[in-house]
Amino acid sequence: MSFDFLKQPVARDTTPHAPGEILRRLVLVGLVAAWAFAAILGVAGWAGGDAGRLRAAAVCAALGLALFVARRRLGPPSTIAPAAAPAGPPAAALTPTDGAPPRVLLIDASLTGPGGNCSRLLDALDLRLAGRARVERVALSGREALSFADLEPRLRAADAFVFATGTHWDSWSSSLQKFLEDATPAEATDLWLGKPAAVLVTEHSVGGKGVLSRLQGVLVTLGCSLPPCSGLVLSHAARLARRHAPDPAAAEDFWSIEDLDVIAHNLCQAATRREADWRAWPVDRKDYARVWLRE
Ligand SMILES: Cc1cc2nc3c(=O)[nH]c(=O)nc-3n(C[C@H](O)[C@H](O)[C@H](O)COP(=O)(O)O)c2cc1C
C-alpha cells in the first residue's frame, strides 16, 4: 500500500468535486488510527494481563482490517495530482468501463436551443456515433436548458464531450460563455482531465475558425484533450460556394457535414484509448473572482 499521496497538499488536489478521493483519505486515516489503537491496547493489555484491553485491541484490529478491505474496494486514487507529485494512478483508472462503448455527451450550446443549426449538425454526428458510443445530448439554451450545476453529474460520467455552438459576433454563444464561467471551479479536475473533446462551430460567413481555435484552447485549459481532426466549422457561405462552384474540385476541401465521419471516428478512438497518466497543476478554486486592482 502506498502512502505517497498523504504528502500531497490537500488544498491542491482535493476539490469539492472529488468526493471519492475525500472518502479514500478518511478511510485511510480511520484504518491507521484503528491499527494504532490495536497496537497500544494490545501491548498495554498483554503487559498488565488485562483481558478487557486485549478484547478492545482485537476489535480495533478487526475494524482496521475492515477499513483496509473497504479502501481496496474504493479503487485507485484520484487521477489529479500536483505536477511535482510522484507517479500517479495506474493507466486502467482512466479507461472507460471495460469493453463498453464510451459515453459521449453532446452539448448543444446553440443560442436558440434545440432546433437550430447546431442541433442539426449534432443530429448528423449522432447518426455517425450510433453503435460506437453511448450518446447523451443536453442543451444550454431553450426550454430544456441545463445549467453547469445540473450537468455536473453527467459531465463527470462522460468519457468524451462534443461542444456545438454558433458564431455570435466572432465568439461562441452567450449560453456557452455562461457554462464556461460556471465551470471555473472544476478547472483541471477529473471532471475534465484527459477526456477528449470535439468542437463543432456553425457560422453564417465569417469568424467561426477563430471561435473553434479559442474554444479548443479553453477546453484544453479546463483539462480536456483534443483528438486529431476533431474540430470543424460549418459555414453557410462555404456550403453555398461548394454548391455553386463551377469546378467542384475547387471547393472540395471546404469543411462539410461528411467530415463528421472523421470526427466521430477520432473521438471514439481517443475515448477508448485514454491510457495516459495525466496530472494537473495547482488551481485557485476559491478566490479566482477577487478584485486585485488596489490603486
Ligand atoms: C446575434 C448573432 C450574431 C451572429 N454573428 C455572426 C458572426 O459574427 N459571424 C457569422 O458568420 N455568423 C454569425 N451569426 C450567424 C450564426 O452564427 C449562425 O446562423 C449559426 O449557425 C447559428 O447557430 P444556431 O442556429 O445553432 O444558433 C450570428 C447570429 C446571431 C443570432
For the domain that residue 170 is a member of, what is the CATH number? 3.40.50.360
126 neighbors 159 (Cβ within 8 angstroms)? no
Asked if residue 112 has its Cβ within 6 Å of ligand 1, the reply is yes
78 neighbors 190 (Cβ within 8 angstroms)? yes
Q: Which domain holds residue 30?
A: 10-75
Q: How far is the CA of 248 from the centre of ligand 1 (A)?
A: 26
Extract the C-alpha cell encoding 268: 471514439
Q: Do 40 and 150 share a structural domain?
A: no
Extract the C-alpha cell encoding 295: 490603486
Q: How far is the CA of 148 from the centre of ligand 1 (A)?
A: 23
Q: Do 110 and 39 share a structural domain?
A: no
Q: Do 185 and 65 share a structural domain?
A: no
In a domain, 47, yes or no: yes
Q: Work out whether the CA dihedral 254, 258, 262, 268 comes out positive or negative.
A: positive
CA-to-CA distance for 38 and 238, rounded, in angstroms?
A: 74
CA-to-CA distance for 209 and 202, rounded, in angstroms?
A: 9
Q: Do 57 and 175 share a structural domain?
A: no
Asked if residue 171 has its Cβ within 6 Å of ligand 1, the reply is no
What's the longest Cα–Cα distance across the chain? 101
Asked if residue 237 has its Cβ within 6 Å of ligand 1, the reply is no
- Overall number of domains in the chain: 2
Asked if residue 203 has its Cβ within 6 Å of ligand 1, the reply is yes
Q: Do 101 and 71 share a structural domain?
A: no
Q: Do 68 and 98 share a structural domain?
A: no
Q: Do 147 and 39 share a structural domain?
A: no
Pairing of strands 197-203, 103-108: unpaired
Q: Do 115 and 49 share a structural domain?
A: no
In a domain, 1, yes or no: no
Residue 218 main-chain phi, psi, to 5 deg: -65, -45
Pocket test for ligand 1, best of 203, 232, 236, 239 (most atoms within 8 A of CB): 203
Look up residue 209 and give its amino acid.
K
DSSP-assigned states of every residue in the chain? ---GGGGS-HHHH--TT-HHHHHHHHHHHHHHHHHHHHHHHHHHHHHHT-HHHHHHHHHHHHHHHHHHHHHHHT-SPPS---TTS---S-GGGGSPSTTSPPEEEEEE--TT-TTSHHHHHHHHHHHHHTTTSEEEEEESSSTT---HHHHHHHHHH-SEEEEEEE-BTTB--HHHHHHHHHTGGGTTSTTTTT-BEEEEEEESSSSHHHHHHHHHHHHHHHT-B--TT-EEEEEHHHHHHHHH-SSGGGGTTS--GGGHHHHHHHHHHHHH-------------SSTT------
Q: Do 71 and 107 share a structural domain?
A: no
Mean pLDDT, the chain cut into blocks of 10 residues (295 residues total): 51 44 80 89 88 89 87 56 36 55 98 95 98 98 95 97 98 98 96 97 98 98 98 97 91 95 98 88 90 90
Q: How far is the CA of 40 from the centre of ligand 1 (A)?
A: 71
Give the pLDDT of residue 88: 38
Q: How far is the CA of 118 from the centre of ligand 1 (A)?
A: 10
For residue 137, the tally of other CB atoms under 10 A from its CB is 17
Q: Considering only CA atoms, which residue is closest to atom 20 of ligand 1?
A: 166
For residue 26, the tally of other CB atoms under 10 A from its CB is 12
In a domain, 82, yes or no: no
Nearest CA among 163, 119, 162 for reference residue 144: 119
Q: How far is the CA of 204 from the centre of ligand 1 (A)?
A: 6
Give the pLDDT of residue 79: 36
Look up residue 233 and give its amino acid.
V
Give the pLDDT of residue 82: 36
Extract the C-alpha cell encoding 191: 471532471
Q: Do 254 and 133 share a structural domain?
A: yes
* 66: CB partners within 8 A, 6+ apart: none
Asked if residue 211 has its Cβ within 6 Å of ligand 1, the reply is no
